[in-house]
Structure formats: structure tokens, C-alpha cells
Chain A
Amino acid sequence: AQSVTQLDSQVPVFEEAPVELRCNYSSSVSVYLFWYVQYPNQGLQLLLKYLSGSTLVESINGFEAEFNKSQTSFHLRKPSVHISDTAEYFCAVSDNKAAGNKLTFGGGTRVLVKP
């Protein structure tokens, strides 16, 4: 079984400032890692994912996350946030032996971008 811990439940940040959302996971097997974003009153959308290869993965809207196996972490960063990045962000993990995209989610981090 896996578990995911998102250390910050809320992160207020000013527009154009950097932001880091922390995610740690535990698993007894190799995993795949994901970040999903949930905008107000919407479902979750995939932001980025790590399956294999380069430990640094990027999204199309400027977010990046780095897989660190020794620290069992997958922190999400953005060097300069916009008002439109206000949302809740979920880290998720899947056992690479599991079928069908069965994900375990963290508790979420709510990002509030202030002008």
C-alpha cells in the first residue's frame, strides 16, 4: 500500500513570486507520481507526471516537479505564479504494478495567489 503526505494544506503567495508545494510518499514498491490541479467547482486535471527517465518533469504552464527517490519526494514548483494559478493541487502515487490508473491522493494544498 502507498500513502502520500502533502505537508502544507494552504500556501498563500503573491503574484509573480515563486511557489513550492511539498509532497512525500511512502511505498514498498516502485511508483509512478502525479500532480493534479483542481480549479474552483471543477474536477481534477492532470498537471504533470513522472513515470521513468528524467527526474525533472515539466507542465505546459510553467510548473515543474522533481522526483527524488532517496527522499521519497515529488515537490512541485513554479518560479513565478499568476492569479490564474489559484487552485488546489493534489499529489498522487500509483503502484507501478497496479492496473487501471488506481491512484492514491494526498490531502491537497490550496494555493491562493494574491495580487
Chain B
Amino acid sequence: DAGVIQSPRHEVTEMGQEVTLRCKPISGHDYLFWYRQTMMRGLELLIYFNNNVPIDDSGMPEDRFSAKMPNASFSTLKIQPSEPRDSAVYFCASSKASSYNSPLHFGNGTRLTVT
């Protein structure tokens, strides 16, 4: 089991540029979550998917953010255009089912810096 894989690990970009973060969940997991971690706001749930369908995107900060899950093994989080306040660590997590006996498995995160 390779775990949840996120790429890139680090991303530095200039304000106004498009940023795409990628996530490969654990095979067989049917829930996928995107979280953002900042010093000021802690861990925030941005959006989550079930069987590739977005279920709750109420945490997405604004229209500049979009997320897709075209298949069970891949998801992207896109920011266009990026702003310095988007600087954070973005985590992807997956779980096997809608069950609290199935814990969230987190990737190692993507550290985004927008200058």
C-alpha cells in the first residue's frame, strides 16, 4: 500500500499564476478529501468526493478554487489566479467508506508559496 500520494511536495509561484495540485488516493478508497492547513486558520476542509462525485464544496474559499476527480485514482485542486493569501499546506486524504471505523489516510501535503 503506497498510501495517498500528492504532487508536487513544494510549489512556489507568482501571484496571478495558475496552480494545480494533484492527488492519488489509496486504491479502493471511495472518499477523497482536500484540506488546507495554515497557521492562522488551522486545518480546513475544502471539498470532499464520494465515488468521484463532489458531495460538499462549502469549504472552497472562492471561485478561484476548483477541484475535480475524473476517476477513482486521481484528483486535482486548481487555483486560478493564485494570490499570496493562498499560501498554505494542502492535504489530500482518502477513506474506504462512510464509516468511522475507516480512518482518514492523509498524504504528505503540498506546500504552496505564492509570492
Contact = CB atoms under 8 A, between A and B. Distances in A.
Contact of B103 (A41, A46, A105): A46
Interface string A71-115: 000000000000000000010001010011111111110000000
Contacts of B33: 101-102
Nearest to A98: B98
Interface residues of B, number: 25
A44 interface: yes
A43 B93 contact: yes
Secondary structure at the A interface, as helix, strand, loop or mixed, is loop
| Interface range, A side | 20 to 34
Given A99-B98, A107-B42, A44 B50 contact: no
Contacts of A108: 42-43
Given A44-B106, A105-B42, A100 B101 contact: no
A101 B104 contact: yes
Given A99-B55, A99-B98, A108-B42, A43 B106 contact: yes
Question: Which of A32, A34, A100 neighbours the largest number of chain B CB atoms within 10 Å of its CB?
Answer: A100
A45 interface: yes
Contacts of A11: none
A99 B53 CA distance: 14
Given A99-B55, A100-B95, A51 B48 contact: no
A83 B4 CA distance: 27
Interface of A: 32, 34, 36, 41-46, 49, 51, 90, 94, 96, 99-108
Interface of B: 4, 31, 33, 42-43, 45, 48, 50, 55-56, 91, 93, 95, 98-109
